[in-house]
């Protein structure tokens, strides 16, 4: 299993190193002028500053295609590595004798379970900003989030770091769910579903910032996340779904509720 993980990680690194040969100049352009904005030339007034018109109904303006967005956000390595690791998990689960229907069902449950993890991590980890020195040191172990809120339209750092950070929780997930299910194949399948849920999160989150997302449900997610950034960052923590915000009553209630 570790050898397989190494192989797919190396493949992902190779894919990432090829980005410069495929015309992805976004990061280079941004590094050249640190003050540059991917939305230069696009009117962001309504999306960010127009309180009178309630900008929550006119969220981020994005014009990028899915391929360009993935490349410029540094997600190529993440998608290749995580997808490859998922294929390995599912293949091993099948070889160990899991029934195909069980595999499909448990995989889908894992995808949905990710949405709950996504909510918890976003609310209680990414937005955790302790003042005590000891807690600050603990907080630094986890990915930062304040810079993203300060400038949400800025492309993120190298996806290779994200991939390396993801590998260990993935292995921990397999070991954790093994005794929970009492079965290694079931643990591998469930973790594989969580991983695909994570990829859906990464894609959806970037799309909320950089793609038009005009279809009904996509537009709902875009608006939901725009409110989190431009109205109240203590609400609307879900990215791939708003179900958990509704369940835990952290959905934005509108101008009157925020003013109360």
Residue 239 has pLDDT above 50, yes or no: yes
Q: Please give the Cα distance from 49 to 155 (Å, whole number).
A: 21
Residue 43 lies in a domain: no
The answer to whether residue 53 sits within a structural domain is no
Q: Which residue has the higher pLDDT, 48 or 14?
A: 14
Question: Once rounded to an integer, what is the mean pLDDT over residues 141-167?
Answer: 61
Torsion, Cα 187 189 193 199, to 10 degrees, reads: 100
Is pLDDT above 50 for 110?
Answer: yes
Calculate mean pLDDT across residues 1-26: 46
On whether residue 70 sits in a domain, the answer given is yes
Q: Is there a contact between 213 and 115 (Cβ–Cβ < 8 Å)?
A: no
For the segment 236-258, the average pLDDT, to the nearest whole number, is 85
For the chain, the average pLDDT equals 74
* Structural domains counted in the chain: 1
179-185, long-range: CB < 8 A, 24+ apart: 183/98, 184/93, 184/96, 185/92, 185/93, 185/94, 185/96, 185/97, 185/98, 185/103
Top mean-pLDDT range of 3-7, 123-127, 148-152: 123-127
- What percentage of the chain carries pLDDT values higher than 70? 58
In a domain, 191, yes or no: yes
pLDDT at 123: 87
Rounded distance, CA 113 to CA 191, Å? Answer: 10
Q: Which residues span the domain enclosing 175?
A: 2-28+61-259
Please write down the HEC assignment for all residues of the chain: CHHHHHHHHHHHHHHHHCHHHHCCCHHHHHHHCCCCCCCCCCCCHHHHCCHHHCHHHCCCCCCCCHHHHHHHCCCHHHHHHHHHHHHHHHHHHHHCCCCHHHHHHHHHHHHHHHHHHHHHHHHHHHCCCCCCHHHHHHHCCCCCCHHHHHCCCCCCCCHHHHHHHHHHHHHHHHHHHHHHHCCHHHHHHHHHHHHHHHHHHHHHHHHHHHCCCCCHHHHHHHHHHHHHHHCCCCCCCCCCCCHHHHHCCCCCCCHHHHHC
- Read off the pLDDT of each residue in 190-212 and give the average, rounded to a whole number: 92
Give per-residue pLDDT as tens, 49-107: 332 233 343 344 456 788 888 887 778 888 888 999 999 999 999 999 999 999 999 99
* pTM (two decimals): 0.72
Does a structural domain hold residue 66?
yes
- Decide if 218 is inside a domain: yes
Check whether 221 has a pLDDT greater than 60.
yes
What pLDDT is attached to residue 77?
Answer: 83
Least confident among 2-16, 69-83, 114-128, 149-163: 2-16
Structural domain includes residue 45:
no
Residue 154 burial (10 A CB sphere; 0-12, 13-18, 19+): middle
Could you tell me if residue 37 is inside a domain? no
Q: Can you tell me the mean pLDDT for 109-133? A: 84
pLDDT at 240 over 70: yes
Give the model's pLDDT for residue 61: 42
pLDDT, position 157: 57
Rounded CA-CA distance 15/233 in Å is 35
């Amino acid at each position: 299993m570790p050898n397989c993980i190494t192989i797919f990680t190396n493949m992902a690194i190779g894919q990432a190193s090829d980005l410069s040969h495929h015309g992805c100049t976004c990061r280079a352009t941004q590094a050249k002028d640190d003050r540059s904005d991917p939305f230069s030339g696009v009117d962001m007034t309504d999306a960010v500053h127009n309180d009178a018109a309630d900008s929550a109904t006119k969220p981020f303006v994005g014009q990028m295609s899915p391929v360009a967005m993935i490349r410029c956000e540094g997600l190529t390595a993440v998608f290749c590595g995580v997808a490859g690791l998922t294929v390995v998990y599912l293949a091993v689960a099948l070889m160990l004798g899991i029934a195909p229907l069980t595999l499909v069902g448990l995989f889908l449950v894992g995808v949905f379970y990710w949405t709950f993890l996504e909510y918890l991590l976003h609310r209680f980890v990414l937005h955790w900003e302790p003042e005590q020195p000891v807690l600050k040191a603990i907080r630094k172990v986890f990915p930062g989030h304040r810079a993203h809120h300060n400038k949400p339209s800025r492309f993120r750092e190298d996806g290779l770091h994200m991939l390396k950070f993801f590998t260990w929780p993935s292995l921990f997930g397999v070991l954790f769910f093994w005794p929970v299910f009492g079965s290694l194949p079931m643990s591998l399948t469930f973790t594989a579903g969580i991983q695909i849920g994570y990829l859906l999160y990464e894609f959806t989150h970037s799309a909320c910032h950089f793609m038009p997302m005009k279809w009904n449900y996509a537009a709902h997610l875009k608006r939901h996340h725009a409110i989190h950034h431009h109205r109240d960052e203590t609400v609307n923590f879900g990215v791939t779904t708003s179900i958990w915000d509704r369940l835990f009553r952290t959905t934005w209630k509108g101008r009157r509720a925020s003013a109360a």
